[in-house]
A and B are shown apart, each in its own frame.
Chain A
Amino acid sequence: MDGQQFQDAPEAAVDELPVTEWETIEIELLIEGIYLAYGHDFRHYLRSSLRRRIRNRMYQDGAATVTELLGKVLHEPGYVNKLVNDFSIKVTEMFRDPSFFKAFRERAVPLLGKLPEIRIWHAGCSTGEEVYSMAILLQEEGLLDKAKIYATDMSEHAIEQAKAGKFPLKRMQTFTRNYMQAGGTKEFSAYYSTDRDYAIFNRSLAEHMMFAQHNLATDSTFNEFHVVLCRNVMIYFNPELQDRVHRLFHDSLTDDGILGLGSMEYLIAPWKQHYEELADGERLFVKKAINA
């Protein structure tokens, strides 16, 4: 089989292997298998990304073919979690893209200030860095007391990490710089204490957060929100799923609700007309009132 060559290939070359028809079929089967057997729905994920993750897993586990992985998924208890974990990319940082948070502070906060209560949905929160960032921002703007941040991710594991509210010290210098670039008004060090490896963020921030497992591909909305943040999540989805998620967000947002996307994400065509750009160049949008 074609897969044989994977084993000998150095890791750097894994991505450059040609895409064969067989491999495409095998990947479809694997994705379908995972869905049928365990209900994890990756059917609408970007194939190019999944292929890379699968190839990587094959390389690490010395699997010759994708079908071999499917065998493991079906017959090796717990193996599916490995793949699911591979598929969920947990790359995030506090105040990621500082200019986004700066824009949020300058443009979105004034809109939120008038509300008696602010409900924020952070979809695809990963390990929670941005959730805490948002809480800090809201606290500095005096809005945290009336805010509730619902943070969800499809990965239970990530949710558990996010709940702990502690982040490795070895990332903290970057976070500090981001905080300052995002227009932080206080001292970043005032929000955390440390142990030998982690910066542990003040519990008072976490008091306003609710964490839950939620899958954008399968689950529906669960409340009405004034802000929906979903940054660098939809880049992994195909247009169909992106459309579904956008519908979900649109349904979940109040009139004049704010939608925040990742720096490389765009409102896809059918939804563009339902939003207005809030800040130039930043992915911050205001939902147009439906009857307007």
Chain B
Amino acid sequence: MLRAIKFNIKTKIAIGYFLILVCLGASILAVTDRIEALQNEVETITSRDVEVHNLIASIQFDAISMETAQRGFIITGDSNYLEPYDKGKAQWESNYNSLYNYISDNPSTQKELEEIKLMIQEWISKAAEPTIAMKKEDRSADIIAFFQNDIGKRQMDSLRTKFESIGSQEVQSTRLHIVDLENKNRILTVGIYVLLLAATIISLMIVSFVSSSIVKTIKQVVRTITEIASSGGDLGTRIAVNTKDEIKELADATNQLLSSLEAQSWVQAKVAEVATMTQGINDLEILARTFLTKVAPMVNASYGVFYIRRGTGEQQRLEKLASYAGTGEDAGKVSFRMGEGLVGQCALEKRVFLLNHPKEQAPLITTGLVQLEPNSILMVPISYEDRLEAVIEFASIQSFTSQHLKLLEEIEKDFGIAVNNVAGRMEVERLLSESQVLTEELQMQQEEMRMTTEHLEEQYLVAEQKTKELEKAKEELEDYSEQLKKSSQYKTNFLANMSHELRTPLNSILILSQLLAENENRTLNDDEEGYANVIHTSGTDLLKLIDDILDLSKIEAGKVVLTVDEVNLTEIPELMKLTFNPIAEKREIAFTIDLAGDLPDVWHTDGQRLQQILKNLLSNAFKFTENGSVHLQIESAGDEMLAISVTDTGIGIPKDKQKLIFEAFQQVDGKTNRLYGGTGLGLSICSEFVRLLGGYIRLDSTVGEGSCFTIYLPELSQEKLDSIQLAIQESAAAAEQHAESAVSEEAEDEHEAFPADIHSGGSDFAGKKVLLVEDDARNVFALVRALENKKMQVTVAGNGRRCMEILQDNTDFDLVLMDIMMPLMDGYETMREIRKLSKLQEMPIIALTAKAMKSDRDKCLEAGASDYISKPLQMDQLFSLMRVWLTKQVGH
């Protein structure tokens, strides 16, 4: 069969061209042949016809020249004339024969030629020869007689006629020949055109056949490819080609490409399917099960297990999460360690394991009827960012194809991310719920702690209550001193302020009592004068006491201003002697001063305070010394310290009281005060001053033997002093705050008459400050009365603007009641303005809405209201609500 032979395109084209060439050659041959024939004809015509004509002419010429020669001879008798005759006679017959041969094809002409021959022969024999012979014989008469008849001339004439006829006959024949030639020429031309046409047609047919046989298959291929392209990639279509040429090869190659594309697109489609399937799943188990259900049929697996990695580091294990066609619990091992078994190894190496024809003892794949042994087992690791997440194992009755492997390879890439994502999501969920647990536990713990604190507070309050009751039983003075001790700073502040107030009237008393005591007008009797003196003396004592208190309180309040100046140490003995010698003399006590030799002349400290300290210590020493001596010693203590000691031989101070005496209002015991007089503040002031000057005080004392107070003072500069003072002021300020809060607590405690109030944390309305913003006078009246009945302090603002003015000056309100409908500035705007003030962000504002519409309430909240209540107001509800907003909140 032709079909069986492989015609490739090259052959087809070659054959085409060859056929066309053959056609061309054939036509050229035909034309050449025709032209040759034509040429023969033309030659025939030219050579034969010309020859015939020549021969005819020659014969005619011969005949004529013979006649002429005959006549010439006859006339002249000159035998010269006979020469052309003989020549013609010899010649003509050969000419005739040639002519005869030439015209052999024309018998009629031949016949005529024969007649001509006969005529010539007859002329020769009848006319010429006899005449010539007559002449030679000189038989003129016969000649004349002969010419009278002259048969020769008749013969010659008929001969001439004959020649003419034969000539015209020949011309005729030549003309016929030419016509014939022309005809043939025409036929040839037509023949050439016909050939050309035929060749063209044949060529076209060949071209169309060859090209169509090539183009048809190409078109088929193109059509198929276009179809594939336009049908959105239906890669199932194949190109069918019946030819056996390169196109077939192209089609086959394309089909191969399509097959591989189809396989690839199958893989891609499945990958996409798996990818979309994993979306929206946020549970690993569901993910695993869905995955197996989806992928197992794709790879024709009859059985599948999904192992997930759990734990980290050494603890890593692979746990079975889901199975496909698994027979319940017994299908597949529940867990593997890394590297344990092939699954573990697969996890460890992170590479695919494929086992063909495993020789496993137990049948694995169970159908309703039989249990089948798997033919092929595949283990695929799933990892994400180079960390193994899971291992999937499939078993199949058939073998896994490379396409299956390719698919799993592709899936593995994205699925790792999915597994990781889901695991991450689950972990986040778990952590979130764990965080919720923690939060709740913390809240609970907080609540417990709050309860504990409250409990403790309660106990504390009860205890304090008891203490207070005990205190009440004590002596007033002791109570007073106890109070002072408890809140010494409060006292200090109080005294610092009050001393000034006390001094003013006291000064009047002193001056007036002195005036009275002087008794210049003698208007008083002695007793009265004595009273006036007592008043003056007592007043002076009191003033001294106040001064001391003032000093002390100033120190404690940090209000003392110190100045460093140069103190000439050598001047000190003189100054002290000037003051204390009179007392020493009066009380018969020795007073000695010893100034060490190695002392510098000048010491930098606050001279005035130093004097005050020394005076205090000395007067203290003199006060408690009844006999013996008082000694003042000034020496250097090294390290830029000055040591000044005052030693007495007085009553001494017991060890356990030595610390106490530096506290205000302390002497060794209550009796001492009465016995020796004095305020007991001197030592306190001393120790405070020494402290201010950066030094310290030491006391050595034995009861009954005397005491020795030594003060150590450093060399000071103004900067050093300032820093000391700053530190002291800060601590004083802190103490003050503490004292103030203690005081206010105390005040409150006293205010709260019932212990029950303490328990409840004080949610009563009494004393609460309420700002009522309301324009309607009747409402204002009713509300104010109701609130004031509950002992609240109500401030009224007639409109929003007024409210803002009030808040500008004073923001100390516990709660604001805000009407909404008001002139000038309505409630919404006012609330917004209030919330703009940073101090009032948290202040409870209760909106009083006229309408019960939800939109109005939302508007209130938006404007910054804490809560709302609608008018007409239910007073019970209002009070409940106010309780809520006046109660200190916990938690948030």
Contact = CB atoms under 8 A, between A and B. Distances in A.
Nearest to A181: B861
A203 to B, nearest CB: 15
A192 B433 contact: no
Contact of A235 (B437, B445, B447, B876): B437
Interface stretch (A36-44, A70-78, A112-120, A262-270): A262-270
Contacts of B282: 266
A170 B890 contact: yes
Contacts of B857: 180, 187
Contacts of B761: 170, 197
Q: When A and B form their complex, which 9 residue pairs have the shortest distance between CB atoms, in order from nearest?
A: A264-B436, A269-B283, A189-B881, A91-B440, A169-B887, A172-B884, A194-B880, A196-B760, A194-B883
Contact of B887 (A172, A180, A272): A172
Find the residue from A91, A171, A197, A263 having the highest chain B CB count within 10 A: A91
A189 B883 CA distance: 10
Contacts of A268: 283
Interface string A162-195: 0000000111111010001000011111101110
Contacts of B447: 90-91
B153 to A, nearest CB: 150
B436 A89 contact: no
B444 A89 contact: yes
Interface string A254-291: 00000000111110111010000000000000000000
A186 B861 CA distance: 13
B760 A174 contact: no
A176 B867 contact: yes
Contact of A269 (B285, B852, B866): B285
A171 B889 CA distance: 6
Contacts of A180: 857, 861
B877 A173 contact: no
Given A52-B441, A194-B880, A197-B763, A263 B436 contact: yes
Contact of A173 (B440, B876, B885): B885
Contacts of A48: 434, 437
B291 interface: no
B884 A189 contact: yes
Given A170-B889, A189-B884, A262-B436, 10 more contacts: A89-B437, A90-B447, A172-B884, A172-B889, A187-B877, A196-B883, A197-B761, A199-B883, A235-B437, A236-B437
Nearest to B883: A194
A226 interface: no
B888 interface: yes
10 contacts: A48-B437, A169-B763, A170-B890, A172-B889, A187-B877, A189-B869, A189-B884, A193-B877, A266-B433, A272-B283
A200 to B, nearest CB: 9
Nearest to B436: A264
B432 interface: yes
Interface of A: 46, 48-49, 52-53, 56, 89-91, 169-174, 176, 180, 185-190, 192-194, 196-197, 199, 232, 235-236, 262-266, 268-270, 272
A185 B870 CA distance: 12
A269 B286 contact: yes
Contacts of B879: 194
Nearest to B868: A187
Contacts of A197: 760-761, 763
Find the residue from B441, B866, B869 having the highest chain A CB count within 10 A: B441
B443 interface: yes
Contacts of B861: 180
Given A49-B437, A173-B866, A196 B763 contact: yes
Contact of A187 (B285, B434, B870, B883): B870
A90 B448 CA distance: 11
B260 interface: no
A169 B889 CA distance: 8
A193 B437 contact: no
Nearest to A169: B887
Contacts of A232: 436, 440
A269 B651 CA distance: 92
Nearest to B760: A196
A272 B280 CA distance: 12
B346 to A, nearest CB: 26
B429 interface: yes
B522 interface: no
B444 A235 contact: no
Contacts of A199: 880, 883-884
Contact of A194 (B434, B444, B884): B884
Nearest to A15: B438
Contacts of A262: 436
Find the residue from A89, A186, A199, A272 having the highest chain B CB count within 10 A: A89
B891 A174 contact: yes
B889 A173 contact: yes
B862 to A, nearest CB: 11
A49 B442 CA distance: 11
Contact of B892 (A52, A89, A174, A272): A174
A204 B518 CA distance: 89
